[in-house]
Amino acid sequence: MLRFRFMIICSVLLLIGGAAVAQDSSPGVVNVYSARHYGAMEGTFTAFTEQTGIVVRLSQGSPQSLLERLRAEGAQTPADVFFSIDAGALALAADEGLLQAVESAVLTEAIPDDLRDPDDRWFAFSQRFRTIMYNPAVVDPSELSTYEQLADPVWQERLCLRPATHIYTISLVGSLIAALGEADAETVVAGWVANNPQYIDSDTEILNTVAAGGCDVALTNHYYLARLLGETPDFPVALFWANQGEGDRGTFRNISGAGVTANALNRDNAVALLEWLATTGQAADDLGVPGGNNEYPVNAEAPIKPILETFGAFTIDALPLTEYGALQIQAIDLLERAGYGF
C-alpha cells in the first residue's frame, strides 16, 4: 500500500537507458538524483510530500553514475538535489562546483559541524558504519580486533568482501590510506587478497553466506544486519565494532547526505526538502531517512531504532568527511595494484 501511495504522490523516474528527467520549474516539484535505495526512501518522500505538498521526482543510480551525469548535464541538469550514500561523491560534487552553498539556520542547528560541508554545500542526514560481521558458532569475538587484522593468515579461506568496484569498498580503503599511509594500507589490502576471500556484490548476500557457513567473517554496513535481525531475531550473525582498542581510531563511518545542485530550478523546494530531512525526517520509524534504513541519525535530538541499541556504544573514526573524495582515486589505484577482486 505504501509503495502504491508513493507512486501516486511522487513521479518516480528511474535511470533507464540514460533517459533524462523532464525539467519542471513548478513550485510544487523537487527533482532528486538519488543513490539511496528506492525502497528505503519511499516512506520518507511520501511523508515529505504529504506534509508540504511538494512532489518528489526521483531518478536513481550509483553515486559514481549520478556524479558523471551531473558533470555531463552541466547547467542543463534537471536535478535540484543530489542525494548520495557516500561522502566522497558529495565532496567531489562540491569541489567541482556542482553543488551550491545553502544558508539555513535549520540545517546548521540540526546537523553537527563534522557532518556537513564547511561551506554548507552538502549535509549528512544519516550515518552508516562498515564493520566486521562474524558467525558466533565458529568465531570467538576475542579473535577479532581491526580491519587490519583481517589480513592475518588465520582468516585464510574464511573471509567475505564486497568487490573493488563498489563505493563501500573504495571509501573504506580510502580510510585505511588516511589512517596508515598508502604503503601500509596496501599491505593490509594485499593481506586480505592473500586470504583468498569470496567477493560478493551484495551485503545482504554476504551476511546470508556467513549465516550459512560459507565464510566466517566479513565486512558489511551495519544496517543490513539490523534489517535481517528485525526479520529473524535469531539470525546467526553478530556484529563486531572494528578498531575499538585503546588509542585506536574507531569504526569507519560514511553517510547518506545531499546538497542542492548549482543549477537547481526549484531551489526553494530543494532547501525545504533538506531542512525537512534534518528535522522531521530524522524519525526512527520507516518514515525517517535514518529509521527507514536502520541507520543512525545525525540530529542529536533524534531517537534511534531499538535494534541499534543492541549493538552497543562504539568509537567512530574521526576522519573528516571532506577528505573522502580526494582519497577515492588513490584507493582505486591501490585496489588494482593489490589484485583485489572486481
CATH number of the domain bearing residue 133: 3.40.190.10
238 and 136 in a common domain: yes
- Are 341 and 163 in contact by the 8 Å Cβ rule? The answer is yes
| DSSP-assigned letter for residue 113 | G
The pLDDT profile of the chain, 342 residues, written as one tens digit per residue, is 434 343 333 443 333 333 344 444 445 999 999 998 766 788 899 999 999 999 999 999 999 999 999 999 999 999 999 999 999 999 999 999 999 999 999 999 999 999 999 999 999 999 999 999 999 999 999 999 999 999 999 999 999 999 999 999 999 999 999 999 999 999 999 999 999 999 999 999 999 999 999 999 999 999 999 999 999 999 999 999 999 999 999 999 999 999 999 999 999 999 999 999 999 999 999 899 999 999 999 999 999 999 999 999 999 999 999 999 999 999 999 999 999 998
For residue 128, what are the β-bridge partners?
254
Residues 332 and 191 in one domain: yes
Same domain, 65 and 188: no
Please check whether residues 122 and 132 belong to one and the same domain: no
Instruction: Write down the pLDDT at residue 20.
Output: 41
Give the β-pairing of 55-60 and 11-12: parallel
316 vs 267: CA distance, rounded Å: 33
The residues pairing with 209 across neighbouring beta strands, listed in sequence order, are none
Are residue 135 and residue 197 in the same domain, yes or no? Answer: yes
Residue 31 contacts residue 59 (beta carbons within 8 Å): yes
> Quick check: helix, strand or coil at residue 334?
helix
- What single-letter amino acid sits at 147? Y
Predicted local distance difference test score (pLDDT) of residue 38: 61
Q: Can you give the residue range of the structural domain that contains 123? A: 2-127+254-304
pLDDT at res. 39: 67
User: What is the total residue count of the chain?
Assistant: 342
**In angstroms, rounded to a whole number, what is the distance separating the alpha carbons of residues 88 and 101?**
17
Same-domain status, 85 and 180: no
Residues 332, 234, single domain; the answer is: yes
Enter the DSSP assignment of 75. Answer: G
Q: In the prediction, which pLDDT does 256 show?
A: 96
Task: Please state, as a whole number, how many other Cβ atoms lie within 10 Å of the Cβ of residue 74.
Answer: 11
Residue 283 vs residues 47, 72, 174: alpha-carbon distances, Å? 11, 35, 31
- 175 in the same domain as 220: yes
Buried b vs exposed e over 16-50: b needs ≥16 C-beta within 10 Å?
Answer: eeeeebeebeeeebbbbbbbbeeebbbbbbbbbbe
CA distance 192 to 186: 10
Do 234 and 297 share a structural domain? no
In this structure, are 265 and 191 located in the same domain? no
242/140 same-domain check: yes
Give the integer Cα–Cα distance in Å for 68 and 66.
Answer: 5
Residues 210, 327, single domain; the answer is yes
CA 300 to chain centre: 19
Q: Tell me the one-letter amino acid at 340.
A: Y
Pairing of β 217-221 and β 159-161: parallel
Residue pair 126/297 in contact (Cβ under 8 Å)? The answer is: yes
Overall domain count for the chain: 2
Q: Give the pLDDT confidence score for residue 69 in this predicted structure.
A: 97
